[in-house]
Amino acid sequence: MYNIAVMPGDGTGPEVIREGLKVLDAACAKFGVKYKKIHYDLGGERYKRTGEILPDSVLAELKGMDAIYLGAVGHPDVKPGILEKGLLLKLRFSLQQYINLRPVKLFPGVWTPIKDKGPAEINFVVVRENNEGLYVGEGEFIDKDKPTEVAVQVSRNSRRGIDKCLKYAFEYAKTKGREKKLTLVGKTNVLTYAFDLWERAFYAMAKSYPEVKTDYAHVDATCMWMIKNPEWFDVIVTDNMFGDIITDLGAMIQGGMGIAAGGNINPEGVSMFEPIGGSAPKYTGKNVINPLAAICAGGMMMAELGETKINEAIEKAVMDVTANKLKSLSAGKMGYSTTEVGDLVVKAL
């Protein structure tokens, strides 16, 4: 029996999480796995009502869960940064979810903007460091509001943090990589402190993984190769900021935000799974948003809990739906409503 914290959050979050839970219920019933949903009302509405973002008591409870299933964070009436930092990033940091795992996989029948590339070519994962880099929130304003003002934003990269992330990435490449190939993505030609350390740590660890092929690419060139030759990538490991950027690009080549799922993983603790798109306020309440990303995130959550068969079954069902049913993955153009897409996946399952 797993205890799953369910946090639908803002905007279309509740709509996609509802379909995700529908699919999880069906998949768990099929495989005889039981789980309990513990609902948490957090996000923009709660903040507007009570001023609370993530109460300490809630954080303490979350530490006792088996996993967290998150919808979306971001509200049009709340200044950008408040909920993102106070809720999403605070959870990632406090629960030491030091990996952000983001598969970039083109499912059958899904349209990609890249001509001549299909599911055989677009199939890699990004292992994004999730606790450090530019996201630590360190910095200062010097001479604030004066013409001489300078803003400093620190990227903090610890050897311990890098090593934990690299170990996950090497293990992933070794056990799950298509070609057992790991590419470090950085910017060693300019960021000569941060990526010098990443590079030294990367090649030092590579010695313990002789079966893993290693490669390095600058982040700008990576954006180019992801479009031109996505098949060159198997597993990518990179820092927090670059990982953030290239996974939006990744989401687009795999068919859009409607299908892109991710996991904030603490391999020794509580992990959190989410569709990587935002709260999409303009589609809220219309029953038109694509729930497949949330459904796939639910599958990833089950895999992390050790229920790999459930994840495989969900992925297969989703592929069946993308290959045979949906006209498009875009909101409002799927040929089905949000609820109907959930039903189709359950039927395929």
Residue 331, binding choice from ligand IPM, Mn ion, none, Cβ under 5 to 8 Å by partner class? none
User: How far apart are CB 284 and ligand IPM at their closest, in Å?
Assistant: 17
Q: Residue 89 or residue 294: which is nearer to ligand IPM going by CB? A: 89
The residue number whose beta carbon is nearest to Mn ion equals: 244
24 interacts with, out of ligand IPM, Mn ion, none, CB within 5 to 8 A per kind: none
Token digits for 11?
Answer: 């905007």
* DSSP annotation string for 189-209: TT-TTHHHHHHHHHHHHHTT-
- Please pick, from the candidates 7, 87, 88, 246, the single residue that binds ligand IPM as defined by CB under 6 A: 88
Task: Check residue 10 for interaction with ligand IPM (CB under 6 A).
Answer: no
Please say whether the beta carbons of 114 and 126 come within 8 A: no
Q: What H or E segment, with its residue span, contains residue 183?
A: strand 181-186
Q: Smallest gap, in angstroms, from Cβ of residue 75 to ligand IPM?
A: 12
Binding to ligand IPM by residue 276, rule CB under 6 A? yes
Residues 272, 73: Cα–Cα separation, whole Å: 13
Which of ligand IPM, Mn ion, none interacts with 84 (beta carbon under 5 to 8 A by kind)? Answer: ligand IPM
The alpha carbon of residue 192 and the mean position of all alpha carbons in its chain are separated, in whole angstroms, by: 28
Neighbouring C-beta atoms of residue 336, cutoff 10 Å? 17
Least Cβ distance, residue 143 to ligand IPM (angstroms):
28
Q: Please report how close the Cβ of residue 35 comes to ligand IPM at its closest, in angstroms.
A: 24
Residue 344 interacts, among Mn ion, ligand IPM, none and using kind-specific CB cut-offs from 5 to 8 Å, with: none
The residue among 244 and 304 lying less far from ligand IPM, judged by its C-beta, is 244
SS3 label, residue 317: helix
d(CA 314, CA 346): 9
Closest distance of CB 175 from ligand IPM, Å = 25
| Tokens representing residue 243 in the block | 């990982």
CA dihedral 165, 170, 175, 180 (to 10 degrees): 140
Is residue 93 near ligand IPM by the rule CB under 6 A?
no
**Are the beta carbons of 44 and 284 closer than 8 angstroms?**
no
Nearer to ligand IPM, 88 or 326 (CB): 88
Enter the tokens of residue 26. Answer: 């069906």
Closer to Mn ion by Cβ: residue 102 or 164: 102
Contact range with ligand IPM by CB under 6 A, out of 4-12, 82-90, 153-161, 196-204: 82-90
Phi and psi based region of residue 169 (left: phi greater than 0; alpha: psi -120 to 50; beta: remaining): alpha
CA 162, 208, 204, 125 torsion-angle sign = negative
Q: Contact between 84 and ligand IPM (CB under 6 A)? A: yes
HSE on the CB side for 303, CA within 13 Å?
18
Most distant CA pair in the chain, distance? 65
Which residues of this chain interact with Mn ion, rule CB under 5 A? 244
Q: By C-beta, is 52 or 248 nearer to ligand IPM?
A: 248
- The answer to the question of residue 244 lying near ligand IPM (CB under 6 A) is yes
Q: How far is the CB of 245 from Mn ion (least distance, A)?
A: 8
Q: Which stretches of the chain bind ligand IPM, using CB under 6 A?
A: 84, 88-89, 244, 276
